[in-house]
Amino acid sequence: MSMNNQGRPTGVGSIGTAASGSALLPDEPLLFEIGDNEHSGVDLPEVELAQDRLGGFARKSKLDLAGLTEPEAMRHYVRLSRLNHSIDSGMYPLGSCTMKHNPRLNEKMARLPGFADIHPLQPVSTVQGALELMNQLSHWLMTLTNTAAVALSPKAGAHGELLGMMAIKAAQAARGQAHRSVVLVPESAHGTNPATAAFLGYSVKPVPAKADGTVDVEAVKTALSPEVAAIMLTNPNTCGLFEPQVIEIAKAVHEAGAFFYCDGANFNAIMGIVRPGDLGIDAMHINLHKTFSTPHGGGGPGAGPVVLSEALAPFAPVPFVRRNGDALEMVEHAEGQALGRVTAFHGQMGMYVRALTYMLSHGADGLAQAAEDAVLNANYVKARLQHLFSVPFPEYPAMHEALFDDSFLKDSGVTTLDFAKALIDEGFHPMTMYFPLVVHGAMLIEPTESESKQTLDRFCEVMAELASDAKAGNRERFTAAPMKAPRRRLDETRAARQPILKWERPANLPQAAE
Amino acid sequence: MRYLPHSAHERAEMLGTIGASDIDALFSAVPKAALKNFSLDLPAHSPEFLVEAHMRSLAGRNHAAGDGPFFVGAGAYRHHIPATVDHLIQRSEWLTAYTPYQPEISQGTLQMLFEFQTQVAKITGMDVANASLYDGSTGTAEAVLMARRLTRKSKIVLSGGLHPHYRDVVKAYLKDDPDLVCLSPSPEGQGDILEQIDGDTAAIVIQTPDFYGHLRDLQGAADAAHAQGALLIVVVTEIVSLGLLEAPGALGADIVVAEGQSIGNALNFGGPYLGLMATRKQFIRQMPGRLCGETVDADGNRGFVLTLSTREQHIRREKATSNICTNSGLCALAFSIHMALLGEAGFIRLARLNHANAVRLADALAGVPGVEVLNKTFFNEMTIRVAQLAAALVERLARRGILAGVPASRLLPDDPEVENLIILAATELTSDSDIAALAAALTEELA
């Protein structure tokens, strides 16, 4: 069966037949190709609208939404799901993304009606348990980071970053320093860092890294001036290294009247081991989905609470929870210097439940152990592979992720991308490639604490075997990969040049199916 | 610890392979002054049954929407979610997958997003939709920024009927910008937004049904905006309304932003929710967020990839279209499954049922002495005026087990004109006995 009539339905009778994979891994037609406008998987009564109150705004245009009955929907979505790799089905060593075990207890708790079935605007007296949960989560985050305040509401890490930088901007303005227009961002930063600074109207000044992959305190001192509002530093950084001079950097930044924003995306490497507040940070977002195991769900939702130092605490945005006698209250409107809001309602409650459940399951001791095991696993992979893959920054131990470069592929005719795709045929999700940008042909491996020694051994054996095959000149295995995935390599250029972003009903069905 | 795979023996063996004396040697880059220099005043690890007991006790202190008559809306709505939706989204391959950066082994997520984009485009009547944003409020702020990029003009006018939280988010994103005009809320109906449009206007933002439940004339607004070269941004906080109301795309909208929570996603005390955004074809390169596109693989088979990502922060850095770094993938999945289960027929039936219940609610409330229903038009939400402080009345009703709606003062605390107003919503879950209980309780409280 061929599906190369792009945008068109498969032929009649093709549903459920085997394609590029095996008989148990069929191609799945689009919902609109199997559904029907009269099919429905939800039984609802027909009601008469004798007197509608729509004031003449009733729909006249067609909806044309395909429907599925319940068994059709089960098959469609179960079959589609099987075309995905996931952390529950295999190792996902995606550096800087942190794919760790997602405990099902978290899911069970998030679905309790007392959490899932409560409205953000019902009376505060009827949601005291929810406010208590937010209070406890805040306490854990502030204790683990040794900071004075936390803003829970941001919807994702980058959103938290935006809010943290807004707090810094407001604090500078309150000090009469609104003219400070520059933000320092190391070259190794996440792309969201310069994007956030630019979004707030700052000009971004890059800070070079030293040859060892860490930020040079002298370079920071040189870059600092009365125009600098803040530095945005990721620690542990995107090369998987802890910034050894972070305390000196913080001191220099503060002495220059600037604030220290820390990108906390990699907090999972140090939770319970190092408190960022002790390093001198003023604001740091914490990706709950990375560090505290809320599932990624194919790309989101995330949650990006921001912890704030004493200096920034007055600028914490609304909403926040405050104790008032025996009860908890929700401060929903900005008072004093508090910032307004960056999202409707109170943020990602569903993620708060999962994160607190994970924290309670681990306890302070378990979180520290998890961080240690994440670091242990990364260094174990590094130790087992460093004789085959070159390590660009060997001076310091890896933190939670091991960074290699692709110099071992030189003259082999195999690219880093080819190598990653060959890993798919061995049953592993590829590592992060070509990031961080400061390393040419970067390969960033993050095993996380969830992976057993046996899995890591198997992964390292496969990596070693692939490396020697590439060096031996067996190009075909790499350039043709993946061979055993639901799809072969996809034409991304075509997708961008001739964007097809939705299904269109073919003008003439019988012809299209030919 | 039940989630951690290593034994002490294995840890020692691994440290041996690394050549490290102990685990602290792996933290040698951490300044000594900061490494494990504290004891955390937090509990130790806990067995599953104790964690569950703790969480249940917290959950038990909340009044769940299903515990009694419930009329709370104002941007988040309680609808029934078919059991199939929650079952399917909990499958490991959906729940525990990451962003589909390796398309060959992420076709499930990618095809679903392609289907989702198609559904959103069809419902809103627009050409293209993205793969979702954080929520409706941040989506509105993104739409405003998008309109500025498209028109290269700066004046933005927000209707007074826009949800106050959405207005506040736009204000935060456009901090201190004098070109942002926020009109006053107008509980009685259509405001005077059209008079604000001039040649410098990038966009006007209109919510329908608006914050008070009134339906707004989009066609007239689109014509007035387009006559001045401005764009019309339409905000929909109750997506179910589009089963019954004309699609914004058919009425001249340029960008449609919606909160998709109503379909497939629980109330969750405010999040995670689902931002929907759809626009015209010629605007796609300025649309923020992820996009999934169709292509072919090396064998010529149809497949899907994330596309047009050159707009995004991980490539353009400080020149990026937005700093959005994710979408609401799992919420989009829940929406898409629920919408597929409804289909055209079910979606229309659901919308009609919502409206029919709301009509019953409005009629019942109009019969309560001391209650004035302000709406001439509505979908499933309306505003009433009572001769008392609305917040105190809602509190008293809550003590009687009835969650009666949102006092407008909760969202507009500085506006004395709204302190007697309550916004109430009915959905398909609102029963006749719920309505009767509310009417009886209100009659007693207002007597």
Of A392, A444, A458, A394, nearest in space to A416 by CA: A444
> B274 φ, ψ to 5°?
-135, 110
- Rounded to the nearest angstrom, the gap between the alpha carbon of residue A307 and the centroid of all alpha carbons in its chain is 18
Contact A89 B93 (CB under 8 A): yes
* Tokens describing residue A32: 């609109």
With beta carbons less than 8 A apart as the criterion, state whether A381 and A462 touch. no
* Banded pLDDT at A506 (limits 50, 70, 90): confident
**Which segment of A15-24, A360-369, A372-381 scores lowest on mean pLDDT?**
A15-24
DSSP SS3 for B211: coil
Chain B neighbors of A452, CB-CB under 8 A: 5-6
Which element (helix H / strand E) includes B422?
strand B421-425
Query: CA B86 to CA A169: how far, in whole Å?
Result: 42
Average of per-residue pLDDT across B3-18: 98
Report chain A's mean pLDDT, rounded to a whole number: 92
Compute the nearest-CA separation of B159 from chain A (Å).
17
Report chain B's mean pLDDT, rounded to a whole number: 96
pLDDT digits (tens, 9 = 90+) for B436-446: 999 999 999 99
pLDDT digits (tens, 9 = 90+) for A454-475: 999 999 999 999 999 999 999 9
Contact B322 A199 (CB under 8 A): yes
Contact A375 B27 (CB under 8 A): yes
- Rounded to the nearest angstrom, the gap between the alpha carbon of residue B391 and the centroid of all alpha carbons in its chain is 24
Give yes or no for residue A24 having a pLDDT over 70: no
Contact B358 A53 (CB under 8 A): yes
* Banded pLDDT at A513 (limits 50, 70, 90): very low
Classify residue B251 by its DSSP letter.
G
Predicted pLDDT of residue B320: 78
**Pairs from A218-225 (Cβ < 8 Å, separation ≥ 24):** A220/A184, A220/A249, A220/A252, A220/A253, A221/A252, A223/A184, A224/A184, A224/A252, A224/A253, A224/A256, A224/A258, A225/A182, A225/A256
Residues 441-480 of A with CB under 8 A from B: 449-453, 480
DSSP SS3 for A440: coil
Compute the nearest-CA separation of B248 from chain A (Å).
10
Average of per-residue pLDDT across A196-220: 93
With beta carbons less than 8 A apart as the criterion, state whether B423 and B383 touch. yes
Peptide bond into A103 cis (omega under 30): no
Query: CA A270 to CA A250: how far, in whole Å?
Result: 18
pLDDT digits (tens, 9 = 90+) for B183-235: 988 888 767 899 999 999 999 999 999 999 999 999 999 999 999 999 999 99
Contact B329 A297 (CB under 8 A): yes
Radius of gyration of chain A (CA): 26
Q: Does A174 touch chain B (CB under 8 A)?
A: no
Predicted pLDDT of residue B316: 74
Query: CA A8 to CA B302: how far, in whole Å?
Result: 10
pLDDT digits (tens, 9 = 90+) for A320-375: 999 999 999 999 998 888 899 999 999 999 999 999 999 999 999 999 999 999 99
Predicted pLDDT of residue B186: 81
Chain A neighbors of B264, CB-CB under 8 A: none
Contact B91 A60 (CB under 8 A): no
Predicted pLDDT of residue B421: 98
Best B318, B378, B429 member to test A by mutation, with max A CBs in 10 Å, is: B318
Query: CA B445 to CA B447: how far, in whole Å?
Result: 6
pLDDT digits (tens, 9 = 90+) for A286-322: 999 999 999 999 999 999 999 999 999 999 999 999 9
Compute the nearest-CA separation of A260 from chain B (Å).
17
Q: pTM of the predicted model, to two decimals?
A: 0.96
Nearest to A80 among B44, B112, B300 (CB): B112
Structure-token match 């990375």, residue found: A290
With beta carbons less than 8 A apart as the criterion, state whether A434 and A441 touch. yes
Contact B100 A298 (CB under 8 A): yes
* Banded pLDDT at A1 (limits 50, 70, 90): very low
Contact B297 A490 (CB under 8 A): yes
pLDDT digits (tens, 9 = 90+) for B242-271: 999 999 999 999 999 999 999 999 999 999
With beta carbons less than 8 A apart as the criterion, state whether B183 and B193 touch. yes
Predicted pLDDT of residue A13: 36
Contact A159 B138 (CB under 8 A): yes
Q: How many residue pairs bridge chain A and chain B with CB atoms within 8 Å of each other?
A: 717
Contact B165 A345 (CB under 8 A): yes
Terminal Cα distance for chain A, rounded:
12
pLDDT digits (tens, 9 = 90+) for B334-375: 999 999 999 999 999 999 999 999 999 999 999 999 999 999
Beta bridge partners of A283: A261, A308
Predicted pLDDT of residue B176: 77
Residues 105-134 of A with CB under 8 A from B: 105, 107-109, 111-123, 125-130, 132-133
Q: Under 8 Å CB-to-CB from B431, ≥6 apart: which residues?
A: none
Peptide bond into B209 cis (omega under 30): yes
Contact B269 A120 (CB under 8 A): yes
Query: CA B55 to CA A114: how far, in whole Å?
Result: 10
Of B91, B85, B267, B290, nearest in space to A299 by CA: B290
Cβ neighbours of A104 (radius 10 Å): 14
Distance of CA A437 to CAs A403, A417, A434, Å? 12, 15, 6
Chain B neighbors of A53, CB-CB under 8 A: 355, 358-359, 362, 375-378
Q: What percent of chain B has pLDDT over 70?
A: 99
Chain A neighbors of B269, CB-CB under 8 A: 115, 118-120, 127, 130, 345-346, 349-350
Structure-token match 């709606």, residue found: B405
Contact A53 B355 (CB under 8 A): yes
* Banded pLDDT at A9 (limits 50, 70, 90): very low
Contact B82 A83 (CB under 8 A): no
Query: CA A403 to CA A416: how far, in whole Å?
Result: 13
Cβ neighbours of A90 (radius 10 Å): 13
Predicted pLDDT of residue A104: 97
With 0-12 / 13-18 / 19 or more C-beta atoms within 10 angstroms meaning exposed / middle / buried, residue B360 is: middle
Compute the nearest-CA separation of B361 from chain A (Å).
12
With beta carbons less than 8 A apart as the criterion, state whether A308 and A261 touch. no
